Amino acid sequence: MNSNNPFISASEAVQCIQSGNRVFLHGSAATPVTLIEAMQNRHEELKNVELVSITNLGDIDFNKPEYRKSFFFNSLFVSANTRAVANSRDGDYVPIFLSEIPQLFRKSILPIDVALVQVSPPDVHGYCSLGTSVDIARSAVDTAKIVVAQVNPNMPRTHGEGFLHTSKINALVWDESSLPEVDYSQKVSSSVEKIGLHVASLIEDGACLQMGIGVIPDQVLKNLGNHKNLGLHTEMLSDGVIPLLEKGAINNSRKKLNIGRSVTGFMVGTRKLYDFVHDNPSIRVMDIGYVNDASNIRKNPRATAINSAIEIDLTGQVCADSIGTYQFSGIGGQMDFMRGASLSENGKPIIALPSVTSKGISRIVPFLKEGAGVVTTRGHVHWVVTEFGIVDLFGKNLKQRAKALIHIAHPDHRETLEKAFHSRFKS
């Protein structure tokens, strides 16, 4: 690396990738689009390159026929721009808890040849930051044989475990592209608004929050402005936390772990969020093996985990990652936090979902679709929320669970569910 001008072009930087390599792609808002496109441009000379990643954002296409001949996408969490290839002969999905993905790299179960990441510019001491996504990237850069970094002044410098010295980076590429943005605060349906109110009613002062991805968690946050002494220990965060942090509703004063600090593994939001976390010592962005470790989650009292589902059956089994056999997303951190919250003193694991899909199909069903994956078992489910109410399944038998879930199903589907109940339980 030339000390006077350490930066090279993206096309030069990805020359280190060889046929047969396993390549890690940094994810979410940190997706290194420029490096990925440069790698894809080498598709004619590369064969059998395995790509591993969680969620990817940005204007990249992994589904072009010419790329499929060169790259196999082994997804650890399926996202919109990898869904088609992950469900094809040229890709696949690894069912795994988000907390355990770092072990795949550290234990050489999936050893990384090349890690493509996006970082902040180096500080005066030569340290870059993994910025918006430390999550599984920490273990990837620690174990990869070669690290290639897209250095972007738009990437925030975040505190926590994301610092990476330039001496550990084999190639640096300067890039000033805007980070991908996702705005969860758009106009939402009345049913989502009701769900937000219901979930907020379950959250006590002093609760330590974990928020999943999407409009429902953001809607919940909008209803917490009058709460006091909330904490934040979450796998991801978005813009919705900013007003609560600014007004002191979230102050992390009641936590037992990282007192006074908000903890996350990654963040996805708008530029406002990325500017808010830049060099902000009150936000710690950490290795996901630490953040999502149930033994850490449970240390904070009143841990409250809010996650969603694709469908839930009458016994409480939650499918959150597939539509039948079609892999839609992944296990992610839902079970990490559902279990951690249930073990926390006065904790609350919550599944919140609209009662029907956008096409009016019930999400509360007699049986999960054939081939559907159970992400959260019926033994782990406690609170379930729809726009029609709140139920607590903990300690309830199968018949009681079914009756409770029918009560919060959409009225248009309750008769069908009642018939399924009587058919199954002969009562």
> For 321, which DSSP code?
S
In terms of DSSP H, where are the helices of 227-349? 241-247, 271-277, 288-291, 294-297, 334-343
Contact 263, 169 (CB under 8 A): no
Q: Largest Cα–Cα distance of the chain, in whole Å?
A: 79
The pair phi, psi for residue 349, each rounded to 5°, is -85, 125
- Residue 235 a catalytic site member: yes
The amino acid sitting at 361 is I
Q: Could you tell me which of 351, 263, 308, 289 has the C-alpha nearest to residue 98?
A: 289
What does the CA dihedral 50, 53, 56, 60 come to, rounded to 10 degrees? -10
3-state secondary structure of 28: strand
Contact 137, 55 (CB under 8 A): no
Rounded CA gap, 311 and 368, in Å? 7
Catalytic residue, chosen from 50, 235, 311, 387, is 235
Answer positive or negative: Cα dihedral of 92, 96, 99, 100. negative
3-state secondary structure of 229: coil
Active site residues: 235
